[in-house]
Amino acid sequence: MEDSQIIAMYFDRDEGAIQACREKYEPYCMAIAQNILTEQRDAEECVNDTWLRSWNAMPPHRPARLSAFLGKITRNLALNRWRSRQAARRGGGEVPLALAELEECVAGGETPEEQMDAKALAEAVTAYLRGQSALKRMVFIRRYWYLNTVPVIARQLAMSEGKVKSMLHRMRLELREKLGEEGLL
Amino acid sequence: MKSEKLLEAMNDLPEELIAEANTRRHHPVVRIAAVAACFVVLLVGMYPFLRAMTEHGGSDDGCFVSDRDVLQLHGALYEIVGTHYETDLERLHLPDAITEEMIGQRVDTAPDYGDVYAYVPLEGRSGTAPAALYLLHRTDEGHEGEWWYLAFTGFVAGDESGYAEAETMFQVYGIQSPADIAAVRDRHSGEQLLSPEAFYDTLLAAPSFGWEDFHEQTSAVMNASAGAVGIRLETDWGLRTYMTYYPETGFVKWLESYYQVGKLL
């Protein structure tokens, strides 16, 4: 079913929209959740919650890309769950590794977190990514949005792991520089 | 933890970037010579046909070239023009690996469409553009007679140090001379930026660089992308390609290649 038809069903408050979303995007959302969470049950619950959240969000929101919209919801839910699991020392998955890598993009020292406005950060990252080639954007977002592992990205994009790593490393340094220029560090 | 903040902030990335990152690439990259060799069967007189297509279907803005994305097919990189190809290819059960024997042939039938669709080489006005498209004739109720298509235009790309000379890039788009260029416009406003002759000659004369060399050359510039101008080059037979001009560094970026043009605008 076309995304536009599914969205129309949401706007018509047709509960079949959720089933249509499940059929079309469950594997996609599940992959996102599983990259963040180690527990299968946690991932499944996040994906199930995604359908409820999407039902509550549409209307009024009308996503331009349904897949990305649903993926965002799943990612948010999974990160929240990961955080609570982490607090209970049951976390894992790709998040700690991705966080450790992203440390290169942010400053050491004592800049308070409060100064990092999330919206400005997202805009700066977006601007940086828009200045990159499609391939570089793809690699970066697969690693830090989808939380795919480097070997998986390398396989998906027909690149060597070394190349993926070096590309990510260079991009992290560039992003750090950009964030510094914009006073976000 | 600040990196966690960054990871969270990335949730607000635009949906199109997130969707773009979820597209597929298939095979290693090869050079344009291999691409050109693949498209040996050219149909004559495609120009009026394509013009008819642009008038009877295609993308929302009425032009069959509306967006840019990248796909690897048949051992080469292609610029995807048209729609969200991956979903469409899957939905239509179209093979995503185009082979030489498919050229000019009916490939299959497609759900929601009539039984006529084919993969054909796309001939530029100059007759040399190594490009191709899936062509579908939509005959289902309410859409009878509507043409719909997924188009692919071959282009040169490589790794981070790879680049293509401007002459090669022009050839990819079937541009042999400034006369093949209809307009050089601001990508967003549509305003004509400069004459086809000036643009063509400037790009041909410009030294070419790959990504790595470009960054070496421009690393001293604090904000190399400041004031960047999106350029839309249009051929007079309907094809569009997009570039970016960086005034701070005097470079034009065309897909994966960089051209040191100096002051262009």
Taking a C-beta distance cutoff of 8 angstroms, is the pair B130, B172 a contact? yes
Asked if B129 and B237 sit in the same domain, the reply is no
Place of tokens 């000379």: B165
Neighbours of A74 (CB within 10 A): 26
How far apart are the C-alpha atoms of A83 and A80, rounded to whole Å?
5
Closest CA to A68 of B263, B21, B113: B21
Contact (CB<8Å) A141/B17 = yes
Asked if B244 and B216 sit in the same domain, the reply is yes
Nearest residue, CB atoms, A119 vs list B6, B12, B223: B12
Q: Is B253 helix (H, G, I), strand (E, B) or coil?
A: strand
Identify the domain boundary among A70, A87, A104.
A87
**Nearest CA distance, B45 vs chain A (angstrom):** 34
Nearest residue, CB atoms, A122 vs list B12, B28, B70: B12
How far apart are the C-alpha atoms of B262 and B247, rounded to whole Å?
8
Please check whether residue B9 touches A, CB under 8 A: yes
Identify the domain boundary among A71, A87, A103.
A87
Asked if A45 and A63 sit in the same domain, the reply is yes
Residues of chain B neighbouring A125 (CB-CB closer than 8 A): 6, 9-10, 13
Asked if B6 and B109 sit in the same domain, the reply is yes
Counting beta carbons within 10 angstroms of the beta carbon of residue B93, is it exposed (0 to 12), middle (13 to 18) or buried (19 or more)?
A: exposed
* Per-residue confidence (pLDDT) for residue B237, from 0 to 100: 60
Domain span holding position B63: 2-154
Q: What is the pLDDT of residues B176-204, one digit of tens each?
A: 889 989 999 998 888 999 999 999 999 99
Asked if A18 and A67 sit in the same domain, the reply is yes
Place of tokens 């309410």: B142
* Per-residue confidence (pLDDT) for residue B141, from 0 to 100: 53
Using the predicted structure, report yes or no on whether residue B61 has a pLDDT greater than 60.
Answer: no
Closest CA to B156 of B145, B148, B143, B167: B167
Asked if B32 and B136 sit in the same domain, the reply is yes
**Nearest CA distance, B87 vs chain A (angstrom):** 9
- DSSP letter string over B79-126? EEESS-HHHHHHHTT--SS--GGGBTEE----TTS-S-EEEEEE--TT
Domain span holding position A130: 95-181
Taking a C-beta distance cutoff of 8 angstroms, is the pair B38, B76 a contact? yes
Asked if A80 and A100 sit in the same domain, the reply is no
Nearest residue, CB atoms, B20 vs list A121, A134, A167: A134
Q: What is the CATH number of the domain that holds A24?
A: 1.10.1740.10
Asked if B28 and B104 sit in the same domain, the reply is yes
Which secondary-structure segment (H or E) carries B150?
strand B146-154
* Per-residue confidence (pLDDT) for residue B91, from 0 to 100: 63
Asked if A100 and A175 sit in the same domain, the reply is yes
How far apart are the C-alpha atoms of A151 and A160, rounded to whole Å?
8
Residues of chain B neighbouring A134 (CB-CB closer than 8 A): 20, 69-70
Residue bearing the bigger pLDDT, A63 or B53: A63
How far apart are the C-alpha atoms of B117 and B109, rounded to whole Å?
7
Asked if A109 and A69 sit in the same domain, the reply is no
Asked if B141 and B24 sit in the same domain, the reply is yes
Nearest residue, CB atoms, A65 vs list B1, B12, B19: B19
Asked if A104 and A163 sit in the same domain, the reply is yes
Does some domain include residue B117? yes
Asked if A52 and A100 sit in the same domain, the reply is no
Asked if A29 and A46 sit in the same domain, the reply is yes
Residues of chain A neighbouring B214 (CB-CB closer than 8 A): none
Comparing A36-40, B208-212, B216-220, the range with the smallest average pLDDT is B216-220
Number of domains into which chain A is organized: 2
Number of domains into which chain B is organized: 2
Asked if B127 and B180 sit in the same domain, the reply is no
Asked if A79 and A17 sit in the same domain, the reply is yes
Asked if B131 and B221 sit in the same domain, the reply is no
Asked if B197 and B235 sit in the same domain, the reply is yes
How far apart are the C-alpha atoms of A156 and A152, rounded to whole Å?
6
Does some domain include residue B159? no
Mean pLDDT of A75-86: 84
Does some domain include residue B217? yes
Does some domain include residue B44? yes
How far apart are the C-alpha atoms of A71 and A33, rounded to whole Å?
9
Does some domain include residue B161? no
**Nearest CA distance, A185 vs chain B (angstrom):** 9
**Nearest CA distance, A68 vs chain B (angstrom):** 5
Q: What is the pLDDT of residues B69-102, one digit of tens each?
A: 444 443 344 444 433 445 666 666 666 555 555 5
Identify the domain boundary among A87, A112, A139.
A87
Mean pLDDT of B122-146: 49
* Per-residue confidence (pLDDT) for residue B39, from 0 to 100: 29
Identify the domain boundary among B134, B154, B174.
B154
Taking a C-beta distance cutoff of 8 angstroms, is the pair B226, B244 a contact? no
Asked if A166 and A102 sit in the same domain, the reply is yes
Asked if B149 and B177 sit in the same domain, the reply is no
Asked if A20 and A46 sit in the same domain, the reply is yes
Identify the domain boundary among B154, B188, B223.
B154
Contact (CB<8Å) B3/A71 = no
